[in-house]
Structure 1
Amino acid sequence: MKSQFLLRSQTLFLPQKQVLKPYYPEAMATTTRDLKIHLSKRQRGLRICLCVSSLVILVAAILILIFTIFKPKDPSVFVNPVDLENFQVLSPNSSGAPLNLVITIQNPNYASFKNRNGSGYLKYGDTIIAEIPLESRLFPARSTTNVSTTANIQTDKLLKDPNFMVAVEGGAFNMTSEAKLSGKVRMAKIIRLKAKVYLSCTISLNISAFQTASTCISKLKL
């Protein structure tokens, strides 16, 4: 009876064997690699988010500047006929009288403007009496540019108008001029936009005193 008790007690208090889990280095390496890939994706996503946010802020800042400080302004234009001493509008031996013009354009904008080759027209009343060639030219930002050109006035059309002879007898006559400059504006070497400048001028010539005066209206459209 006693021996059975001892045997049973020894059986109860025998130390239990530890169960060792198998060690798989490949599995641990795979887990570490997956963790690194996950962290790398998160960092890349964060960088993309920061880049997009920075780009949006930059575009917003540029738009604010364009519509406030850099808001497009109409240029100031002056048309000045020159060399009136040689202007022979009443010459009977010629059907054309060259009129030299200096067109002064003041660009008040922070963007430059470059126009393509074009032309304008000179009118007396409702009759077109000359074409004004306008060559391609760069108008720098916030600058004044003088453009020299020549309008070959068709005197035969003028002499057919009875109102012209009456005006000449008074020593002066008025003409109107219209032109459209098509080109591109460029700002900070980044922004390029198509633009058009519309010009409308009234030119007064006092051929007896060799004096001129002009009034121009200009409009810039993007």
Structure 2
Amino acid sequence: MATKGHKICLAMSTLFLIIVAIVIVTLILTMFKPRNPDIFIHPVDIEDFQLLSANATCAPLGMVITIVNKNYGSFRYKNSTGYIKYRGTIIAEVPFETRSIPARSITNVSTSSDIMTGKLINDSNFWSDIEDGVFNMTSQATLAGKVNLVKILRIKAKVYISCGITFNLTAMDVGSSCRSKIKI
């Protein structure tokens, strides 16, 4: 038979567990709720980029991808491949090596791709884009990995990235606009 002291202890323990559960659920639904990262693409050495050169089948393009992780959890992704497309045709692959993106940080990822110039030249719209001085591409990547919350909880996640890239050939300038979505 439970004594009055045991009943009070049991009631206090139950109340404490309910309060802890409410705090954890509140944190998960507010502070720890996954937010989509902000992503920016910055091609490097654009002045030296030669899309069309004699006897070249590929034009190397180096880039730095800036990832702004606004989440309270870090994200570690495995080796992945992104794709650059011109009017729906894949013209380059972009490798992403395994990497960890720390929580609440800004991380620069360096990578490069070889633009397949043969596929561009065979596209009927390519030469009119060159004459207009503006060359548009899109890129897509899926990064699969794990989110690590407070070094305790590990959850599988995927980040889907889609970017529009605009080359202004006359000004030798590049602009990009990216959207990302994290799915847990």
For 1:59 and 1:189, the matched residues in 2 are separated by 19
Unaligned runs of at least 5 residues, structure 2: none
Which residue type is aligned with residue 153 of structure 1?
I
Shift of 1:216: 0.6
User: Pairwise mapping of residues 39-54 of structure 1 onto structure 2 (< 5 A)?
Assistant: 54=16
* Structure 1 SS opposite 2:161: strand
| Pairing 1:58-207 to 2, within 5 Å after superposition | 58-207=20-169
- Provide the C-alpha distance between the structure 2 equivalents of 1:151 and 1:117, rounded to a whole number of angstroms: 15
The letter of the residue matching 1:147 is V
TM-score, scaled relative to structure 2: 0.89
For residue 147 of structure 1, report the CA deviation from its aligned partner. 0.7
Q: Which secondary structure state, in structure 2, belongs to the residue aligned with residue 195 of structure 1?
A: strand
Task: Give the partner amino acid of 2:37.
Answer: P
How many angstroms apart in 1 are the aligned matches of 2:137 and 2:110? 18
Structure 1 vs Structure 2 CA RMSD: 2.3
Deviation at 1:172? 2.1
Looking at structure 1, the residues matched to 177 and 147 of structure 2 have their Cα atoms a distance apart, in angstroms, of: 25
How many percent of aligned residue pairs carry the same amino acid? 50
Q: Which has the larger radius of gyration?
A: 1
Q: 1:66: Cα distance to partner?
A: 1.1
The farther-off stretch of 143-152 and 204-213 is: 204-213
Q: Distance between the aligned counterparts of 1:49 and 1:72, measured in 2?
A: 35
Contact 1:171 1:206 in 2 (8 A): yes
Q: Which amino acid aligns with 1:214?
A: S
SS of corresponding position for 2:31: coil
Q: For 1:142-184, what per-residue CA distance to the aligned partner results, in whole angstroms no more than 9, with x for missing partners?
A: 1111111001110000000121111112222000000001111
**Structure 1's 172 and 44: CA in aligned 2 closer, same or farther, altered over 3 A?**
same
Query: Higher mean Cα deviation, 208-217 or 58-67?
Result: 58-67
Cα gap change, 1:182/1:49 in structure 2, threshold over 3 Å: closer, same or farther? farther
Q: How many residues align?
A: 184
Q: 1:178 to 1:126 in 2, by over 3 A?
A: same
Q: Which residue of 2 aligns with 1:20?
A: none
Higher helix proportion: 1
SS at match of 1:162: coil
In the superposition, relative to structure 1, how do residues 112 and 161 fare at CA in structure 2: closer, same or farther (>3 Å)?
same
Q: Tell me the CA shift for residue 91 of structure 1.
A: 1.2
For residues 34 and 183 of structure 2, the distance between their equivalents in structure 1, rounded to whole angstroms, comes to 9
Q: Please report how far the alpha carbon of residue 60 of structure 1 lies from its aligned counterpart in structure 2 after TM superposition.
A: 3.4
- AA partner of residue 112 (structure 1): S
Instruction: Describe the SS at the equivalent of 1:138.
Output: strand
Structure 2 residue matching 1:89: 3-state secondary structure? coil
CA distance in 1, matches of 2:28, 2:130: 49
Rounded Cα–Cα distance in structure 2 between residues aligned with 1:210 and 1:202: 17
Provide TM-score, normalisation by structure 1: 0.75
Give distance in 2, aligned partners of 1:90 and 1:186: 44
